Amino acid sequence: MTTKHIPTEEEVLAAWSGLGYYRRARSLKRAADAIVDEHRGRLPKEMEQLRALPGFGDYTAAAVGSIALRLPFAAVDGNVRRVTARLFAVSSREGHPRLADLASALLDRRRPGDWNQAMMELGATLCTPREPRCPVCPLRRYCAARELGKVESFPEPRPQPRTKHVDEVVVAVIRRGVLLLLQRGDGGSFSRMWELPRMDTREVGKRDLTPERVLAELTGLEAASFAPIGRTESTFTHHRIRTRLYRAESPTPGRIRRPRHVAHRWVKARDMNTLAASKAQKKLFALLRDTLTGRQASPPAVVSPAPDSLRPG
């Protein structure tokens, strides 16, 4: 295998930006590196070697091994767990290992890749969590849950954590047409990704969450005033985040101090989308693009859901 350019993790994250599940992008990059460095660019052929690749748990190793190498292992994702639980009327109290054993016993060992993909597809298209399409299901004659008339009782639904509401304040510092972005350090879901200076009510009390504080604490700068630019809403792992975006007017020209970030960069509008950034940050970049390019944002800058009282920046 020859490779002209091996992308860095940051380049992989930039290409993946806005899709979520950034840990998967990092694992994909590390797994590709391990395949190149330790297996001479070829997928290892043993299940234990696959499991040892970064980011490869039982499911990924079985899916890749069965589809790419015909290894006889059942890939048990949420869809397959649901189909199997219904086929055998197994309650979730009996747990995942029992469902994995049953899925493995069902596996067609001559065509494990096709079997695994068929089971996943069945769960995604017919045996859905709600209102499964049993009358057209090829497994209907064998399905214990259907026989019992309790298809939606299997597997038992897990209690969902309550959604928490979070308020966030973000500050755009713009100097001569370029925007200040900060890079997060290692660790957490957004490791090494770029963002505008931001804080939320998980870090400070609602009353103390002001653009002045965000700017001073994250950059060491001050501003004459702050103009509201827009609002966005986003969801992240059971948190509903309401964001208010401000522009720092006449920010002090001093040196950037960034106690919580590992790097900063001044970015032009046309370069904003080349950096690794979360979907929520990309929404904010979109609000700022017109401001950076000198065009008037129209209509007023509010991103879903429906606007509430907003003064244009």
CA distance 25 to 17: 9
* 143 or 284: CB nearest ligand SF4: 143
In the complex, minimum distance from the CB of residue 77 to ligand SF4, in angstroms, rounded to a whole number: 15
CA distance 115 to 108: 6
* 131 or 186: CB nearest ligand SF4: 131
In the complex, minimum distance from the CB of residue 74 to ligand SF4, in angstroms, rounded to a whole number: 16
* 94 or 271: CB nearest ligand SF4: 94
Backbone angles phi, psi at 88, to 5 degrees: -105, 5
In the complex, minimum distance from the CB of residue 152 to ligand SF4, in angstroms, rounded to a whole number: 8
Distance of CA 46 to the CA centre of its chain: 30
List the beta bridge partners of residue 172. 247
CA distance 231 to 280: 11
CA distance 176 to 152: 59
Q: How many H-runs (helices) and E-runs (strands) does the chain carry?
A: 10, 7
* 106 or 178: CB nearest ligand SF4: 106
In the complex, minimum distance from the CB of residue 150 to ligand SF4, in angstroms, rounded to a whole number: 9
Cα dihedral angle (8, 11, 15, 16), rounded to 10 degrees?
60
- Note the residues at the interface with ligand SF4 (CB under 6 A): 83, 86-87, 126-127, 132, 134, 137, 139-140, 143, 145-146, 151
In the complex, minimum distance from the CB of residue 62 to ligand SF4, in angstroms, rounded to a whole number: 20
* 116 or 219: CB nearest ligand SF4: 116
Question: Quick one: the chain helix, strand, coil %, rounded to 5?
Answer: 40, 15, 40
* 27 or 117: CB nearest ligand SF4: 117
| Segments in the chain forming alpha helices (H) | 9-16, 22-38, 47-51, 58-69, 78-87, 95-106, 112-125, 144-148, 211-219, 279-293
Quick one: CA dihedral 300, 209, 271, 184, positive or negative? negative
* 98 or 140: CB nearest ligand SF4: 140
In the complex, minimum distance from the CB of residue 139 to ligand SF4, in angstroms, rounded to a whole number: 4
In the complex, minimum distance from the CB of residue 142 to ligand SF4, in angstroms, rounded to a whole number: 8
* 124 or 303: CB nearest ligand SF4: 124
In the complex, minimum distance from the CB of residue 126 to ligand SF4, in angstroms, rounded to a whole number: 5
Q: Which residue has the tokens 């940050």?
A: 281
- Find the distance separating the first CA and the last CA of the chain, reported in whole Å: 53
